[in-house]
Amino acid sequence: MSKHLLKLAVLYWGLAAPLAAVHAEGFPNKPIRLVVPFAPGGGTDSVARLLSKRITERTGQPVVVETRVGAGGAIGAALVAKAPADGYTLLLTVTGPITIIPNVNPNVGYKTSDLAPVAIAYRSPFMVMVGTDSPYQSLGQLLADGRNKQPAPSYGSSGIGALSHLVSELINQQAGTHFNHVPYKGSQDTLYAMVRGDVQWGLQSAADARSFLAAGKLRPLAVLSKERSARMPDVPTLEESGIHGVDLDLWFGLFAPAATPSATVHSLNTLVNEILAEPEIAKRLQELGGQAPTDANTPEIVKKTIDREVQSFGAVARAIKLKLE
């Protein structure tokens, strides 16, 4: 080998070795902080702990679940939005802190665009529920009283501006009803209010209501998805009751700060989808009252879902003149 070629070879390997070492380190190579903006014991917390355990087992890196409760999930979302954009601080949340709160509260401290979608980790049927002592045996009976009875029956929500609030108001719009809103501090308070009969109905996910449903304390009248739930095939859809334009379930999404490199976001997406495909994880998610996404689950597709919901919920918020401060 000539001296010139020898110098080139030395230069090449001198540059390539560090690059190879960097590539070998991969992602993640240090502990991950997973922020949950809702109280322990709920559906979000349960999914976060299931997911964090498997990420740790697969990567060898600890995933620390950190609860940051407050402002309907906005405190935890704002924390992640302002965190270093390196993929090591993540948020697991339902739709409210992403598609609703930052678009109706100008003082919340972050925007929807400040968080980059990674993947949907879980979907749970969103349902119209009543207490088992309720006189309403069908959605049709409830809607009839919502249109004609004075005062109209009341519904409970997880708080002003929560998903359960806006979607209930969407039902008011689509069904021509006049249900009265009673806000509570979270899903658990709402569920207990329905059991006691303090409110006549409410919208909650199967994940949050699973123990109440299993104990026979609540009765679902309808699911909000276009098709019946495979887990509860006897429960009709809103479409079957003549209410159109309401088609959603409750999703739990994983998010990173917006400036996180695309390669890191897609690495996380691949990791999460591999975990969700595991039979044992699928079984556990079903036990929690839902399932992993059954369609494509890329960051780009999740963003389209978010954009669609921002538009839909924004229209409802404007119609009811909702403002959060």
**Is 265 in contact with 87 (CB distance < 8 Å)?**
yes
**pLDDT tens digits, one per residue of 280-300:** 999 999 888 888 888 889 999
235: DSSP letter: S
**pLDDT tens digits, one per residue of 138-160:** 999 999 999 999 999 999 998 88
**pLDDT tens digits, one per residue of 51-75:** 999 999 999 999 999 999 888 889 9
The pLDDT, as a whole number, for residue 17 is: 36
Q: Which of 61, 116, 84 is nearest to 263 (CA)?
A: 116
SS (H, E, C) 26-48: CCCCCCEEEEECCCCCCHHHHHH
Range with the lowest mean pLDDT among 100-104, 211-215, 226-230, 281-285? 226-230
30-123+249-319 matches 126-241 in fold: yes
Output the furthest CA–CA distance in the chain (Å, rounded): 97
Which residues are paired to 219 by β-bridges? 130
The pLDDT, as a whole number, for residue 16 is: 39
Which of these CATH numbers, 3.30.70.60, 3.40.190.150, 3.40.50.300, 3.10.620.30, describes 30-123+249-319?
3.40.190.150
The pLDDT, as a whole number, for residue 24 is: 29
User: Could you tell me the pTM of the whole model?
Assistant: 0.82
Give the start-to-end residue ranges of the domains of the chain.
Answer: 30-123+249-319, 126-241
Locate 270 and state its tokens: 């691949």
Average pLDDT, integer, range 307-325? 85
The pLDDT, as a whole number, for residue 64 is: 97
**pLDDT tens digits, one per residue of 20-51:** 333 324 789 999 999 999 888 778 899 999 99
Mean per-residue pLDDT of the chain: 88
Locate 312 and state its tokens: 């839909």
What span, in angstroms and rounded, lies between the C-alpha atoms of 124 and 108? 27
Q: In what order do the strands lie in the sheet with 126-131?
A: 180-183, 154-157, 201-205, 126-131, 218-223
DSSP H helical ranges for the chain: 3-25, 43-59, 74-81, 101-104, 139-148, 163-175, 187-196, 206-214, 262-276, 279-287, 299-319
Average pLDDT, integer, range 243-268? 92
The pLDDT, as a whole number, for residue 325 is: 64
**pLDDT tens digits, one per residue of 6-18:** 444 444 444 433 3
Cβ-based neighbour number of residue 218 at 10 Å: 23
Which helix (DSSP H) or strand (DSSP E) does residue 202 occupy? strand 201-205
**pLDDT tens digits, one per residue of 180-206:** 999 998 888 999 999 999 999 999 988
What span, in angstroms and rounded, lies between the C-alpha atoms of 302 and 268? 14
In this prediction, residue 231 has a pLDDT band, given cuts at 50, 70 and 90, of confident
**pLDDT tens digits, one per residue of 70-113:** 888 899 999 999 999 999 999 999 998 999 999 888 889 999 99
CATH superfamily of domain region 126-241: Periplasmic binding protein-like II (3.40.190.10)
Asked if the model's pLDDT at residue 323 lies above 90, the reply is: no
Q: What proportions of the chain, in percent to the nearest 5, are helix, strand and coil? A: 45, 20, 35
What span, in angstroms and rounded, lies between the C-alpha atoms of 213 and 206? 8
CA 134 to chain centre: 29
Q: Which of 214, 286, 207, 254 is nearest to 42 (CA)?
A: 207
What span, in angstroms and rounded, lies between the C-alpha atoms of 77 and 71? 10
The pLDDT, as a whole number, for residue 20 is: 31
